[in-house]
Structure 1
Amino acid sequence: MTNAMWMQSVEWLAAAATDPRACKREWDQGNGGVLLEAGRFWDVVSVPEPLGLLALDILWCEPLRVPGPTLVDSAARRVGFFLPPDPASHWVGDGLRHLGRGSWIAVPPPYRSAGPLEWIIPPDGTGALHLAVPLELALRQANGTLAVLEPLGQD
């Protein structure tokens, strides 16, 4: 990414903060992430790490579509997919959490990790997000693959 793209992604992400200037200052001077409210510019679907990483691999297989911003929390072993806000959405699945309006998520700056928080795919500043239908299909496919592989690992 160029410096201009990094700046654009910082501005885009910080716009979700209650105080964007304080958010950017904390990213520049602090060591951690900041809490940003979901539901205004984006929602987050958080899934267990094995499911999320496999689903992301599946999403990368679509040659004409680059996956949207994706965050990993290595301490919690979860992957968060940023997608358009949808208050009517009902994401259902074992270990799946839909974070929309009224939910908060710790987010590192797009240019570096913050402790266990790291961008697998940082926001590009254009507002591009994961699309709900391809994400849901990838999660279903990944879940099916993991269901088949799990009994093999129990020997």
Structure 2
Amino acid sequence: MNRHPFTHWLARAATDPHATVHLWDMGCTAPLLAGRRWDVVQVDFALATGAVRELRAEGHHVGPHLMSGTERAVWWPLPLGAGRGFAGREGVIVYPPGWALLSPPPGKYLRDRVWVFPEEEEGDGEGPRLTSPGTLRAALDAAGRALAPSTGNPAL
């Protein structure tokens, strides 16, 4: 079977990676656990898409993330321990270790979810480079400012 280069990298975040790959081969979603290989933060869709634009405009690396238009959310895997730096931010949910992220197979759109991977990277067993937590926080701040309603007085 021809699998996406990051299939096994993602599956290692599951309790049973082999069962996860089997579920994906059958066209099902499978749970990946926060805190097993990386932290998971969920970001409001509008804020997340603004952050991706900001990251790209500044020439920063955009690591893998899972998107859902219907759920209006984007989930970012971040290095272990980095999630706590996002706690309390508006439009962001930090999930605790053991929380299950229902994931489609990489490279497939399923249940209105799809993984977005860096274009410049290929699977090497180590997986893709994650988004830098510091640059993601800065991009979320910039995107939040861009989305905030203007507080200035309208011209008369």
TM-score scaled to structure 2, two decimals? 0.82
CA offsets 1:21-55 (integer angstroms, 9 cap, x no match): 1101110113x321110112111211111000010
Distance across 1 between alignment mates of 2:108 and 2:90:
30
Equivalent residue number for residue 142 of structure 1: 143
Distance across 2 between alignment mates of 1:115 and 1:145:
30
Indicate which of 22, 26, 35 corresponds to 1:25: 22
Q: CA RMSD in A?
A: 2.4
Secondary structure of 2:84's aligned partner? coil
Equivalent residue number for residue 14 of structure 1: 11
The change in CA–CA distance for 1:88 and 1:62 in structure 2 (over 3 A counts) is: closer
Q: Is the 8 A contact 1:67 1:130 kept in 2?
A: yes
Equivalent residue number for residue 44 of structure 1: 40
Equivalent residue number for residue 55 of structure 1: 51
Distance across 1 between alignment mates of 2:43 and 2:67:
10
The change in CA–CA distance for 1:85 and 1:149 in structure 2 (over 3 A counts) is: farther
Moved segments of 4+, more than 4 Å? none
- CA positional deviation for 1:114: 1.0
The change in CA–CA distance for 1:121 and 1:127 in structure 2 (over 3 A counts) is: closer
Equivalent residue number for residue 77 of structure 2: 82
Q: Which runs of 5+ in 1 are unaligned?
A: none
Q: How many residues align?
A: 145
Secondary structure of 1:89's aligned partner? helix
Structure number, greater radius of gyration: 2
* Bigger fraction of residues in helix: 1
Distance across 1 between alignment mates of 2:98 and 2:151:
35
Secondary structure of 2:41's aligned partner? strand
TM-score scaled to structure 1, two decimals? 0.82
Q: Is the 8 A contact 1:33 1:117 kept in 2?
A: no
Matched, 1:105 2:101: yes
Identity across matched positions, percent: 33
The one-letter code matched in structure 2 to 1:69 is: P
Matched, 1:66 2:67: no
- CA positional deviation for 1:107: 1.1
The change in CA–CA distance for 1:36 and 1:88 in structure 2 (over 3 A counts) is: closer
